[in-house]
Amino acid sequence: MRRRKRKVGAEETPFEATTKSGTELTGDTTRPRLAYHDCSTNYLQKVPSRLHDSTRPANWDIMAAPRVFILPATKDEDAKSISHTILTLKHPNNGVPTRYLVHHPPSSSSSQDPSAPFIYEILKVANQAHAPRSWLITPDLPPLEVPKSSSEEAEPKEDETAAPESESTSTPDSLVIKDAHLYLTTPLDPLYLLLPHLSSQKTSRNFLSFEDLLESHPESTKWSKILSLHPPSSQILQSRLLTICDTVSAGDEQMFRLNPEKLHTLLISRVESVAKALPPSLTKQISRKLSKPIGTQASTAWKRQSEIKDTSTGGGSGVINDAELEDQDEDTQQDPADSQLRREASKLNLEDSTTDTPVEESTEIVLENLLPPPEIQYLCHLSHSIQFLQNYLPQDIYSSLSEKLSTVHPQEPLEKWMEELKSLRAAANAAIDFSMSHSKRTLEDLEGGMSREDVQREKKRKKKEEDAKKSTGVKKLEKVDTKGMMKMTAFFKPKDPK
Amino acid sequence: MLEARLEQAQVLKKVVEAIKDLVQDCNFDCNDTGIQLQAMDNSHVALVSMHLGSDGFSPYRCDRNIALGINLNSLMKVLRAGANEDLLTLKAEDQPDSLNLVFESSANDRVSEYDIKLMDIDQEHLGIPDTEYAATITLPSAEFQRICRDLSALSESVSIEATKDGVKFACSGDIGNGSVSLRPHTNVEDEAKSNKIELTEPVNLTFSLKYLVNFCKASSLSSTVRLCLSNEVPLLVEYKMEAGYLRFYLAPKIGDEE
């Protein structure tokens, strides 16, 4: 049933993830997964009951409108008691205060795995502004007489037919939520939150005990709150620290100091595992970017391609796309990573919908023999996955990491391939330009960045601006038929500028 | 530094009024001989050339050549703010980014001051050679305006045929055809109402009426207008001013027998 919900969303308009981050490694370093797969889907039906809960946290009063969260899994017996707190911590990458969810099941529950992740980041899957929708939340009804109604409980309201709507609104606990964003919580390795502090000048020189470490942290009060909310977290944090720190024992206390070597080893292993586990939606896109142009003989395919492009989501998925090529440069900062994530998130929705989506169609153009050797593809995957990590790392650590990574995995083959690709594409572009010169479509349209409508709109806007400056007389004169009249320059020659 | 004072704001007002429908933006080139302007319309088939001599101003001071790139529509907006009889002073720095206009009304001691932002306009200057025209026709500007207006109701283009007997403006269009013929004639009482034709050889050329109608907006500048024609050379329509001229050039229509 939940699967169905997601598919509905995907078939209509793909959601767009607008938060800065998309994927995060869990404590388990071997299998990075994407947000959607990661979260234990539970609780869509739990949210409304919580809304009516009289013991709800004070935050709920501030948030005037209810919102839909997908929360970490909780054992059924714990679900009744609130076990989540939202805390604001500085984002490790940019220091912007960001909200994190602390998941702290009541200590009574013995079944709780003590090493389970306890800090979750909150991702907002945004509703697209041009396709307004809302949530309809109803209790988890058993599939009954009207078979359709219960299976579409979370479907946007506009898609509801009259019958199920009337039925569900008559149910006492159902609820329509205007804010159609979906908030996902995904586990976050607390190391990332500690890293900026660990690597700071002050702390990186001396061995510090765990308590001192947290005490000296600029947000120490928040951390002590986390520890008090979730006592096992102290244990988890220390064990996580072991992986990146040198330690000395002072009595029965362990002292920690950041070891950059260890940190890099850990991070590189994460980059590698992300690179190996990129979702097919993303790898397809990467291979499309890496594939050689198919050449002029396929100019009809090109045409089709660009048509497809207009209908596809980002408008930026053309085969020839230098703007996207640049995205792959590691040095490009947040924005490429951001858009990458967004694209990925939207593709993710498409992924499990049926095969006849535009994206699927366009990938068939990527021919196997046009692809680079697997090593090069892997290098490119690495450079993509490091961008995911970049979102969680302080700038200096990121730059040293990317340096390190390029020594472990030399980038030259990829660079060489890109060079080659660039020249091939330039040639193909020139050929297309030539073969399409009779059609209205211009090279820029193919090159992406701006979709054709954008270009036209831009032109229109410019023309309007120009027109505003012209007097009516000038405009009238422009319409005059000047056939058979020679230009003034044919009679009078330009004077040499004095 | 430019400082030029016009006794009557209407001189500039009429000039700008006449050309603002032909060109959008243009450079006013200021030097010690006065203020010049040369610009083509968007289609480059017509050219306007203006000269306001320094003796038309009192005082006139221009130390250095200055090009004032102005949107004529904007200039017209400001000029409309002044009365015809106002004293108009133009001021600009050596490297100006705006032109300062001051209107002074002697009648009621009213002073109004405006600044217009200037723009950089890349215009090529065409050298216009002195031409011996085959036919030079001088007629009252109101008469020429009327002919153009009347004929433009019938057709897009007019043929101007100058012979020793007179000049014939003829056109034919969808609804029919028409012509106006003028014979040389001297009005003893008012020189400006005479028709004069100087002819070295007969000419017959066709021109776009829309453009001619446009040129006629300068009629208020002068009571007479001079038309100069030669085969395969642009028509010159000249309005003389007290201290200068406003000249329009228009390419003839060739091989268009519609």
ipTM field:
0.80
Q: Does A472 touch chain B (CB under 8 A)?
A: yes
Paired strand residues for B47: B40, B249
The pLDDT of residue A298: 43
The pLDDT of residue A293: 67
Q: What residue type is assigned to position A415 of the chain? A: E
Mean pLDDT of A55-79: 60
Q: Does A486 touch chain B (CB under 8 A)?
A: yes
Which DSSP state fits B20?
T
Name the nearest CA neighbour of B100 among B118, B82, B121.
B118
Return the residue matching tokens 């040129």.
B215
Model confidence at A208, pLDDT cuts 50, 70, 90, reads confident
Q: Does B158 touch chain A (CB under 8 A)?
A: no
The pLDDT of residue A377: 81
Candidate from A489, A491, A495 with C-beta closest to B233:
A491
The pLDDT of residue A496: 62
Largest CA distance in chain A: 102
Chain A residue whose CA is closest to B130: A492
- pTM score: 0.44
Confidence check: pLDDT of A338 > 50: no
User: Could A481 and B73 be called an inter-chain contact, meaning their C-beta atoms sit closer than 8 Å?
Assistant: no
Instruction: Tell me the range of A66-80, A369-383, B66-80 where mean pLDDT is highest.
Output: B66-80
Which DSSP state fits A494?
E
Quote the minimal CA–CA distance from B249 to chain A in Å: 8
Mean pLDDT of chain A: 65
Confidence check: pLDDT of B61 > 80: yes
**Close Cβ partners of B32 (under 8 Å, ≥ 6 residues apart):** B54, B62
CA–CA gap between residue A154 and residue A125 (Å, rounded): 15
Q: Does B249 touch chain A (CB under 8 A)?
A: yes
Confidence check: pLDDT of A323 > 50: no
The pLDDT of residue B206: 93
Q: What is the pLDDT of residues A155-164, one digit of tens each?
A: 444 444 444 4
Mean pLDDT of A245-252: 81
The pLDDT of residue A491: 87
Candidate from A484, A490, A494 with C-beta closest to B125:
A494
More confident residue, A182 or A173: A182
CA A170 to the chain's CA centroid: 38
Mean pLDDT of B87-111: 90
**Close Cβ partners of B184 (under 8 Å, ≥ 6 residues apart):** B166, B195, B196, B197
Which residues from chain B sit within 8 angstroms of residue A497, using beta carbons? 125
More confident residue, A54 or B238: B238
CA B67 to the chain's CA centroid: 19
The pLDDT of residue B58: 87
Taking one residue from A and the other from B, the number of pairs with CB-CB distance under 8 angstroms is 99
Paired strand residues for B26: B70
CA–CA gap between residue A195 and residue B65 (Å, rounded): 66
Q: Does B121 touch chain A (CB under 8 A)?
A: no
B203-208 and B157-163 beta bridge pairing: antiparallel
Q: What is the pLDDT of residues A465-481, one digit of tens each?
A: 776 666 777 888 888 88
The pLDDT of residue A297: 41
**Token pair of A381 as six digits:** 């995957």
Paired strand residues for A102: A85, A119
More confident residue, A258 or B214: B214
CA–CA gap between residue B134 and residue B198 (Å, rounded): 8
**In chain A, pLDDT over 70 holds for what percent of residues?**
54
User: Could A476 and B73 be called an inter-chain contact, meaning their C-beta atoms sit closer than 8 Å?
Assistant: no
Chain B residue whose CA is closest to A472: B21
Q: What is the pLDDT of residues A409-450, one digit of tens each?
A: 887 888 888 888 888 888 877 776 666 555 544 444 454 455
Mean pLDDT of B143-162: 93
Which residues from chain A sit within 8 angstroms of residue B22, using beta carbons? 473-474, 477
Confidence check: pLDDT of B253 > 60: yes
Candidate from A470, A485, A490 with C-beta closest to B24:
A470
The pLDDT of residue B145: 95
Please, where are the H alpha helices in chain B? 9-19, 72-79, 141-152, 209-215
Candidate from A471, A482, A488 with C-beta closest to B234:
A488
The pLDDT of residue B70: 93
Which residues from chain A sit within 8 angstroms of residue B214, using beta carbons? 473, 477
The pLDDT of residue A145: 58
The pLDDT of residue B170: 94
SS3 category, B247? strand
The pLDDT of residue A80: 59
Name the nearest CA neighbour of A325 among A367, A360, A292.
A292
Model confidence at B90, pLDDT cuts 50, 70, 90, reads very high
Candidate from A472, A478, A484 with C-beta closest to B254:
A484
User: Could B20 and A473 be called an inter-chain contact, meaning their C-beta atoms sit closer than 8 Å?
Assistant: yes
The pLDDT of residue A113: 61
Confidence check: pLDDT of A327 > 50: no
User: Could A474 and B47 be called an inter-chain contact, meaning their C-beta atoms sit closer than 8 Å?
Assistant: no
Q: How many residues does chain A have?
A: 498
Which residues from chain B sit within 8 angstroms of residue A486, using beta carbons? 45, 251, 254
Mean pLDDT of A453-457: 79
Mean pLDDT of A266-292: 82
Mean pLDDT of B62-83: 91
The pLDDT of residue B115: 94
- Comparing A330-339, B27-36, B99-108, B183-192, which segment has the lowest mean pLDDT? A330-339
Which residues from chain A sit within 8 angstroms of residue B125, using beta carbons? 494-495, 497
- A-interface mutation test, from B30, B31, B36, B42, most A Cβ less than 10 A away: B42
The pLDDT of residue A287: 78
More confident residue, A131 or B146: B146
Query: Do residues B51 and B245 lie in contact, with contact meaning Cβ atoms separated by under 8 Å?
Result: yes
CA–CA gap between residue A90 and residue A121 (Å, rounded): 12
**Token pair of A193 as six digits:** 């939150």
B2-6 and B57-62 beta bridge pairing: antiparallel
CA–CA gap between residue A24 and residue A270 (Å, rounded): 10
Q: What is the pLDDT of residues A9-50, one digit of tens each?
A: 333 333 333 333 333 333 333 333 333 333 333 333 333 333
Model confidence at A142, pLDDT cuts 50, 70, 90, reads low
Query: Do residues A350 and A281 lie in contact, with contact meaning Cβ atoms separated by under 8 Å?
Result: yes
More confident residue, A364 or A21: A364
Quote the minimal CA–CA distance from B3 to chain A in Å: 23
Quote the minimal CA–CA distance from B25 to chain A in Å: 9
More confident residue, A138 or B216: B216
Confidence check: pLDDT of A318 > 70: no
Confidence check: pLDDT of A319 > 80: no
CA–CA gap between residue A41 and residue A62 (Å, rounded): 26
Q: Does B49 touch chain A (CB under 8 A)?
A: no
The pLDDT of residue A451: 62
The pLDDT of residue A350: 41
Model confidence at A313, pLDDT cuts 50, 70, 90, reads very low
Q: Does A142 touch chain B (CB under 8 A)?
A: no
Name the nearest CA neighbour of A321 among A284, A278, A297, A291.
A291
Q: Does B124 touch chain A (CB under 8 A)?
A: yes
Q: Does B116 touch chain A (CB under 8 A)?
A: no
Query: Do residues A312 and A362 lie in contact, with contact meaning Cβ atoms separated by under 8 Å?
Result: yes
More confident residue, A16 or B115: B115
The pLDDT of residue B228: 95
Instruction: Tell me the range of A119-128, A134-143, A364-373, B83-92 where mean pLDDT is highest.
Output: B83-92
Confidence check: pLDDT of B11 > 80: yes
Mean pLDDT of A274-303: 69
Mean pLDDT of A346-369: 44
